[in-house]
């Protein structure tokens, strides 16, 4: 049952899929954590794998960068491959003063400057939120693992380079924790299709303080969010 973007068959994906943005992060997770991982997709360099973690089937596949890419892959996984849960595991840039590099942030909601929701023709502004089932499970697993969570609003941006250098100050005033580029379209797809979605992010940069992690750290060393998401996949099985 291939799609234009995923070359796989029904049953190739587990009901829970972890989705980093970077294909190499997907490969790292599969090779580091999954038992007997099998590559199930490689179209356009978007690597996907299915294996087991503590005996539970789990898949991991990259989403690529930005809401359009996440929207395509999550929609096809939900509608064509019977995936029930997608957990985004990616990086985010902190804008809240209390956050530091390597902190783990969980997106209870996802503000956005995207026009993605316009397709639904709603008479108002739709507020994309995470699945409570996944959010609750994440809180439980984090407590067992001793991982401190920062739960709140993310900002899902269309712009990586923004024309207005003060824009993040205004979002910070509204209590938004961090900026990333995928969660809003993922949450909207899940809402529309009756599925579950959550974004778990590691702070790779502090935008307002000018602090940055390395490319290598982003790709393979942000293991807390990986282990947390895998634990959630087991918890909800």
Our answer to whether residue 103 is catalytic in this structure is no
How far apart are alpha carbons 112 and 164 in whole angstroms? Answer: 16
Q: Give the tokens for residue 220.
A: 């393979």
How far apart are alpha carbons 82 and 85 in whole angstroms? Answer: 9
- Neighbouring-strand partners of residue 86: 17, 197
Question: DSSP label at 178?
Answer: E
E strand or H helix at 94, and its extent? Answer: strand 85-94
Q: How far is CA 122 from CA 71, 115, 126, 127, in A?
A: 19, 12, 7, 11
| DSSP E strand boundaries for 140-207 | 149-156, 178-180, 196-206
How far apart are alpha carbons 68 and 221 in whole angstroms? Answer: 27
Q: What are phi and psi of 30, to 5 degrees?
A: -60, -45
Q: How far is CA 190 from CA 29, 88, 112, in A?
A: 23, 12, 16
Catalytic residue set: 205
């Amino acid at each position: 049952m291939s799609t234009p973007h995923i070359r796989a068959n029904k049953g190739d994906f587990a009901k829970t899929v972890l989705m980093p943005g970077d294909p190499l992060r997907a490969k790292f997770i599969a090779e580091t954590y999954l038992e007997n991982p099998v590559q199930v997709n490689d179209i356009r360099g978007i690597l996907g794998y299915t294996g087991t973690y503590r005996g539970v089937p789990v898949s991991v596949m990259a989403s690529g960068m930005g809401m359009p890419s996440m929207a395509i892959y999550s929609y096809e996984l939900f509608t064509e491959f019977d995936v029930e849960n997608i957990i985004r595991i990616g990086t985010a840039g902190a804008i809240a003063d209390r956050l530091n590099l390597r902190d783990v942030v969980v997106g209870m909601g996802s503000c956005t400057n995207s026009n993605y929701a316009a397709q639904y023709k709603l008479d108002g502004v739709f507020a994309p939120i995470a699945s409570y089932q996944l959010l609750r499970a994440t809180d439980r697993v984090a407590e067992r693992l001793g991982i401190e969570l920062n739960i709140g609003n993310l900002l899902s941006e269309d712009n990586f380079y923004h024309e207005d250098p003060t824009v993040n100050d205004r979002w910070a005033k509204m209590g938004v924790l961090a900026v990333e580029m995928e969660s809003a379209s993922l949450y909207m797809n899940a809402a529309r299709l009756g599925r579950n979605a959550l974004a778990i992010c590691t702070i790779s940069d502090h935008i307002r303080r000018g602090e940055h992690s390395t490319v290598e750290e982003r790709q393979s060393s942000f293991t807390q969010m990986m282990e947390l998401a895998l634990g959630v996949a087991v918890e909800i099985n």
